[in-house]
């Protein structure tokens, strides 16, 4: 009986200890930030308390999945502690924002574009896999018109117009629901990057991204960085890994940000999914990254071959003008270790042929090994561009990226100690006696 009481006491004590630990666990993944702005663009979730309101909880451990609504809907997070583009972050991944895609299939991706800023005014897109593809529009916008019904009308920057949805509600946002944003009574224009416009209602509508967007793959809630460049991400990818080193300006040219204070996520498609309603990016959780031990910028690709001409990659230079080599078809071949992950724009391969120079005049090559930071190279195909050879620094420089420490070399064997005169004499005498002994044994006993 006494033993039983002891066991019960131990169990109770353990439960008390666990309950004391629980808040600490919850705090571990909470994020030191606030929601500065939030707007759900006209969709089935607009003015909806379940999916269209509780965005604050995406910063807490026990959060709700919350929608950004149709194209252009967005959230701006302001971080009290800057998010660092720390070279020690594995794979270069600096923060994570996940959605609720469940199997990475075409129709469950609802990609959200991520933007970063130091001052909340000047924004830089984190260029995901689709950023430099021809079909991606960097300057798309939709004007949603309040017509007093449950379904808004729209007109987009391509001049297309109509009802936002065929049958599912797409309400104009209510000022009382979204107090952080100024909402005009009659119409609101939302713009930014657009990955796809598919206005014919169909449940088969959708888009496949490879990396660099929110709400594309299944999510995990922890503070671990997962490799965004893995093979077959539709099966193994973990949602929402972001590297601040993907930042580019409005021309697609690289900028260097060693830290950011603001992060924006914005629905980046204008797709009618028929009875499923619009494609709308969801945000489930913001997670910070546990910084690793090593800094590594080791050059993974030594050269890139453009239409048979080898271009040597030199230290500190990330932008290369290849316009003279780009008459018609362009074949890019990356010389890197076979174990490296290589992306040429959105294709995971070490070689890619373009039928013509891409519309944006930029081909981005990413090469990444192990847990190292990726090597990012920009090839410029437009002869008239004033494209930079290095990243333009924005704000203060915090980290030194000039050092490229290699893997630690094994220590060389210590030099053999030089023997002194007497030591050599004693060793010679010893050897002499050993030889005599061996001769004696061999002669008389074998
Ligand atoms: Ca980074
Ligand atoms: Ca979703």
**Along the 446 residues of the chain, how does pLDDT read in single tens digits?**
444 455 444 444 443 343 333 333 444 567 999 999 999 999 999 999 888 888 999 998 777 899 999 999 999 999 999 999 999 999 999 999 999 998 756 678 999 999 999 999 999 999 999 999 999 999 999 999 999 999 999 999 999 999 999 889 999 999 999 999 999 999 999 999 999 999 999 999 999 999 999 999 998 888 999 999 999 888 889 999 999 999 999 999 999 999 999 999 999 999 999 998 999 999 999 999 988 887 677 778 989 999 999 999 998 899 999 999 988 999 999 999 989 999 999 999 999 999 999 999 999 999 999 999 999 999 999 988 888 999 999 999 999 886 555 555 555 554 444 455 555 555 555 555 545 544 444 444 43
Q: What are phi and psi of 387, to 5 degrees?
A: -70, 140
Residues 11 and 96 in one domain: no
376: CA distance to ligand 1 center in Å? 11
Query: Tell me, what CATH number does 389's domain have?
Result: 2.60.40
Q: Which ligand is nearest to the CA of 295?
A: 1
- Establish if 23 belongs to a structural domain: yes
Q: What is the pTM of this model?
A: 0.84
- Establish if 86 belongs to a structural domain: yes
75: CA distance to ligand 2 center in Å? 15
Residues 334 and 240 in one domain: no
CB 263 within 8 A of CB 246: no
Residues 364 and 245 in one domain: no
Q: What is the domain extent for residue 7? A: 1-30
**What pLDDT sits at residue 406?**
53
- Establish if 439 belongs to a structural domain: no
CB 39 within 8 A of CB 184: no
- Establish if 186 belongs to a structural domain: yes
Q: What is the largest CA-CA distance in the chain?
A: 118
In order, the DSSP letters of 298-312 are ---EEEEEETTEEEE
Residues 264 and 317 in one domain: no
Residues 89 and 228 in one domain: yes
Residues 244 and 388 in one domain: no
- Establish if 362 belongs to a structural domain: yes
3-state secondary structure of 352: strand
Question: Which of 247, 267, 288 is the C-terminal boundary of a domain?
Answer: 288
| 392-394/255-257 β-pairing | parallel
Which residues are found with C-beta within 5 Å of the ion, ligand 2? 99-100, 110, 215, 282
112: CA distance to ligand 2 center in Å? 9
257: CA distance to ligand 1 center in Å? 9
Residues 215 and 174 in one domain: yes
**What pLDDT sits at residue 216?**
94
395: CA distance to ligand 1 center in Å? 16
What is the rounded CA–CA span in Å between residue 81 and residue 27?
15
280: CA distance to ligand 2 center in Å? 6
Residues 185 and 256 in one domain: yes
Q: State how far the alpha carbon of 101 is from the alpha carbons of 66, 205, 399, in Å.
A: 13, 15, 35
Look-up: residue for tokens 């969801």?
A: 282
- Establish if 349 belongs to a structural domain: yes
**What pLDDT sits at residue 104?**
56
204: CA distance to ligand 2 center in Å? 15
Question: Which of 224, 258, 288 is the C-terminal boundary of a domain?
Answer: 288
- Establish if 8 belongs to a structural domain: yes
Residues 233 and 354 in one domain: no
CB 53 within 8 A of CB 35: no
- Establish if 437 belongs to a structural domain: no
What is the rounded CA–CA span in Å between residue 315 and residue 327?
28
What is the rounded CA–CA span in Å between residue 63 and residue 52?
13
Residues 7 and 106 in one domain: no
What's the structural domain count of the chain? 3
Residues 92 and 164 in one domain: yes
**What pLDDT sits at residue 429?**
57
Residues 136 and 252 in one domain: yes
């Amino acid at each position: 009986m006494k033993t039983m009481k002891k066991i019960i006491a131990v169990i109770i004590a353990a439960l008390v200890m666990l309950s004391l630990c629980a808040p600490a666990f919850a705090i571990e993944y909470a994020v030191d930030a606030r929601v500065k702005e939030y707007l759900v663009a006209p969709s089935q979730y607009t003015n909806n308390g379940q999916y269209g309101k509780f965005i604050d909880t995406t910063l807490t451990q026990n959060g709700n999945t919350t929608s950004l609504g149709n194209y252009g809907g967005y959230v701006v997070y302001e971080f009290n502690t800057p998010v660092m583009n720390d070279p020690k972050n594995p794979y270069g991944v600096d923060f994570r924002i996940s959605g609720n895609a469940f199997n990475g299939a075409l129709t469950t991706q609802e990609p959200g574009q991520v933007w970063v800023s130091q001052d909340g005014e000047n924004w830089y897109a984190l260029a995901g896999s689709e950023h430099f593809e021809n079909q991606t529009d960097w300057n798309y916008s939709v004007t949603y018109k309040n017509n007093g019904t449950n379904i808004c009308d729209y007109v987009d920057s391509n001049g297309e117009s109509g009802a936002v949805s065929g049958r599912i509600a797409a309400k104009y946002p209510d000022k009382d629901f979204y107090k952080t944003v100024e909402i005009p009574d009659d119409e609101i224009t939302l713009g930014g990057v657009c990955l796809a416009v598919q206005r014919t209602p169909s449940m088969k509508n959708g888009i496949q991204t490879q990396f660099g967007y929110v709400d594309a793959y299944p999510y995990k809630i922890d503070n671990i960085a997962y490799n965004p460049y893995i093979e077959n991400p539709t099966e193994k990818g973990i949602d929402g890994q972001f590297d601040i080193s993907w930042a580019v300006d409005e021309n697609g040219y690289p900028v260097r940000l060693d830290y950011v204070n603001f992060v924006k996520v914005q629905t980046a498609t204008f797709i009618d999914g028929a009875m499923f309603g619009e494609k709308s990016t969801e945000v489930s959780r913001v997670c910070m990254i546990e910084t690793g031990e090593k800094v590594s910028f080791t050059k993974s690709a030594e050269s890139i071959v453009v239409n048979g001409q080898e271009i040597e990659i030199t230290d500190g230079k990330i932008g290369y003008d290849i316009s003279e080599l780009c008459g018609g078809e362009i074949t890019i071949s990356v010389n890197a270790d076979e174990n490296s992950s290589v992306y040429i724009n959105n294709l995971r391969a070490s070689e890619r042929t373009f039928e013509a120079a891409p519309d944006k005049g930029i081909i981005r090559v990413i090469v990444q090994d192990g847990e190292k930071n990726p090597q990012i190279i920009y090839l410029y195909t437009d002869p008239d561009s004033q494209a930079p050879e290095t990243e333009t620094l924005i704000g203060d420089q915090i980290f030194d990226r000039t050092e490229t420490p290699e893997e630690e070399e094994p220590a060389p064997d210590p030099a053999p100690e030089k023997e002194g005169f007497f030591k050599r004499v004693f060793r010679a005498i010893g050897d002499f006696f050993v030889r005599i002994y061996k001769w004696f044994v061999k002669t008389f006993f074998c």
